[in-house]
């Protein structure tokens, strides 16, 4: 059977504190995940991720809003959230997917691991649509263009 858990990792040449801010601060989340992020990096915080028409979500008439709830937030070490539960419902293992980040300090930077589990339990239409849209929307070329613009716009931002 298909695995129900996805595990990925990457080595980042930055301190855990810096990586932590990128994965937990709304203004940063909106640079790598959704177009808009309304979430606080503290356990139990409810929020939402929004993909906008013309944004990363591509051609759509309305905003796509996906609920998210922070489960665990241990600064510079662990950050986890549940998402894709039905709107208004309390997320648990029966109705949502769990995303767990762990940050491990290494020589030269931080190893960032992500585990998403419970993926096959998420069966509502919006979820597949969000995945499909992110996959096919305007393609990676658009993401890359946005990212390059964002990095270039930061004062003294590195462009390598």
Partner 1 sequence: MPTAVAEDDALWAAVADPTRRRVLDALLEHGEATTTTLAEGLPVTRQAVAKHLVVLDRVGLVAGRRSGREVRYAIRPERLDDASEAMARVAAQWDRRLARIKRLAESVQAKADSEHPTRRTQ
8 binds partner 1 (CB under 8 A): yes
Residues 6 or more apart whose Cβ sits within 8 Å of residue 125:
none
Contact pick of 65, 71, 119, 138 for partner 1 (by CB under 8 A): 119
% helix, strand, coil for the chain, step of 5: 30, 35, 40
Rounded distance between C-alpha atoms, residue 77 and residue 73, angstroms: 8
Contact pick of 62, 107, 141, 149 for partner 1 (by CB under 8 A): 107
* Residue number with CB closer to partner 1 (88 or 159): 159
Which value, in Å, is the radius of gyration of the alpha carbons in the chain?
A: 16
By the criterion CB under 8 A, which residues form the site for partner 1?
1-4, 6, 8-10, 12-15, 18-19, 21-23, 28, 31-33, 107-110, 112, 114, 116, 119-125, 127-129, 131-132, 134-136, 140, 143, 147, 150-151, 154-160
């Amino acid at each position: 059977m298909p695995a129900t858990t996805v595990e990925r990792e990457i080595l980042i040449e930055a301190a855990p504190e810096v990586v932590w801010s990128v994965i937990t601060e709304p203004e940063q989340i909106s640079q790598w995940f959704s177009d808009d992020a309304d979430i606080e990096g503290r356990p139990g915080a409810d929020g939402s991720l929004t993909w906008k028409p013309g944004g990363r979500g591509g051609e759509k008439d309305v905003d796509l809003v996906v609920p998210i709830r922070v489960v665990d937030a241990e600064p510079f070490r662990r950050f986890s959230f549940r998402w894709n539960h039905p709107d208004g419902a309390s997320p648990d293992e029966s109705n949502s997917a769990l995303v767990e980040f762990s940050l491990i300090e290494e020589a030269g930077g931080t190893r960032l691991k992500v585990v998403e589990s419970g993926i096959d339990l998420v069966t509502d239409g919006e979820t597949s649509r969000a995945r499909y849209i992110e996959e096919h929307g305007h393609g990676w070329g658009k993401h890359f263009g946005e990212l390059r613009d964002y990095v270039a716009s930061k004062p003294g931002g590195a462009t390598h």
